[in-house]
């Protein structure tokens, strides 16, 4: 039985599948050629990440398909319910990349409060001639310890991010329309654990009370953050989006940055991927990464292993 990992899969997944008797195809097939490739090669399992889209055309025209798998959490690039209605299994790996995304959020946060995102642009250009000027410009950093992190969306990734915040010494508040309370257990290297109980509050209260806001919400029809929400935030607060492009009104974000309402923001995802707007790319108050939240070796190994285990369990 053949598995096409169109957006790649870690070696852990390849080895597990091959050991179970599956043939793994690591070819990257262009979207418009995918139907023919699946049919010509009798592909039973199609694995994707965020690049490949699995819509009704593929589902309707690829009779050999039995499983569609997403390496990651969000499934907005797959017509999930339609696939299930046609008898296909749809799988993903909701827990595998949570900690990787959480660490990226904090890479951005630590960088922004000490101006690393800007310093790393300017030091190579002017570090030898304007060292003292740059030192003065970046001399008013802040600590995260003791500050309040607001988490919008308190599922697996939101909770993983909250755990890092608690370990740093931050206060955590959260909003989620489907979760009232969560027990977060921090596991330490020597076997000790500490559990925190977090009761969610309203979105408006999170925005009003937070020094930093991080988004962990699925793709949706309306903006989660637009002008109204920015105006609710503390003056000078920071925002991080490592969730999905399109949940922030990017025009409103730039306006909030230019007015000083928001001091800094970090974006790992964009409305127009893979071609983010130039006004975002050139803004000195933005810390930017190219959608790499789950792109750690550890997360990819976990994703590969989890996908393989689910495929083997379903198909035997």
The whole-number average pLDDT for the span 138-161 is 97
Q: Is residue 244 among the annotated active site residues?
A: yes
The whole-number average pLDDT for the span 29-55 is 97
The whole-number average pLDDT for the span 2-22 is 97
Residue 103 has pLDDT above 90, yes or no: yes
The residue annotated as part of the active site, out of 89, 114, 271, 273, is: 273
pLDDT digits (tens, 9 = 90+) for 276-294: 999 999 999 999 999 999 9
Q: For the chain, what is the radius of gyration of the CA atoms?
A: 22
- 224-243: burial string, b at 16+ Cβ within 10 Å, e else: bbbeebbebbbeebbbbbbb
Q: What is the mean pLDDT of the chain?
A: 97
> What percent of the chain shows pLDDT beyond 70?
100
Residue 179 has pLDDT above 90, yes or no: yes
Q: Is residue 302 among the annotated active site residues?
A: no
The whole-number average pLDDT for the span 8-33 is 97
- Give the chain's count of helices (H) and strands (E): 13, 13
The residue annotated as part of the active site, out of 70, 117, 216, 291, is: 291
The answer to whether 176 and 200 have CB atoms below 8 angstroms apart is yes
pLDDT band at 38 (very low <50, low <70, confident <90, very high): very high
pLDDT band at 316 (very low <50, low <70, confident <90, very high): confident
Enumerate domains of the chain plus CATH numbers. 2-93+297-315 (3.40.50.720), 98-288 (3.40.50.720)
The whole-number average pLDDT for the span 64-68 is 98
Res 126: pLDDT: 97
Q: Is residue 108 among the annotated active site residues?
A: no
CA distance 119 to 155: 34
The whole-number average pLDDT for the span 129-156 is 98
The residue annotated as part of the active site, out of 244, 250, 302, 306, is: 244
């Amino acid at each position: 039985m053949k598995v096409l990992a169109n957006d790649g899969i870690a070696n852990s997944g390849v080895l597990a599948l091959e050991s179970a008797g599956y043939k793994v195809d690591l070819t990257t097939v262009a979207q418009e050629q995918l139907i023919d490739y699946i049919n010509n090669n009798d592909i039973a399992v199609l694995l994707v990440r965020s690049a490949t889209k699995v819509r009704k055309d593929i589902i309707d025209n690829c009779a050999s398909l039995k499983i569609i798998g997403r390496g990651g959490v969000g499934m907005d690039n797959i017509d999930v319910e339609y696939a299930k209605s046609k008898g296909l299994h749809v799988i993903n790996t909701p827990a595998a990349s949570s900690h990787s995304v959480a660490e990226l959020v904090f890479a951005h946060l630590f960088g922004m409060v000490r101006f690393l995102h800007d310093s790393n642009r300017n030091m190579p250009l002017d570090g030898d001639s304007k060292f003292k000027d740059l030192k003065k410009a970046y001399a008013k950093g802040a600590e995260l310890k003791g500050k309040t992190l607001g988490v919008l969306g308190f599922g697996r990734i939101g909770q993983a991010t909250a755990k890092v915040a608690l370990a740093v010494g931050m206060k955590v508040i959260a909003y989620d329309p489907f979760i009232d309370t969560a027990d977060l257990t921090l596991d330490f290297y020597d076997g000790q654990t500490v559990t925190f109980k977090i009761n969610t509050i309203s979105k408006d209260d999170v925005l009003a009370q937070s020094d930093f806001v991080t988004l962990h919400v699925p793709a949706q029809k309306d903006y989660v953050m637009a002008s109204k929400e920015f105006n609710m935030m503390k003056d000078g607060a920071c925002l991080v989006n490592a969730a999905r492009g399109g949940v922030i009104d990017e025009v409103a974000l730039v306006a909030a940055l230019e007015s000083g309402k928001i001091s800094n923001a970090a974006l790992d995802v964009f409305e127009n991927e893979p071609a983010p707007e130039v006004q975002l790319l050139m803004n000195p108050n933005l810390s930017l990464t190219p959608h790499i939240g789950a792109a750690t070796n550890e997360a990819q190994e976990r994703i590969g292993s989890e996908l393989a285990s689910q495929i083997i369990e379903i198909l035997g």
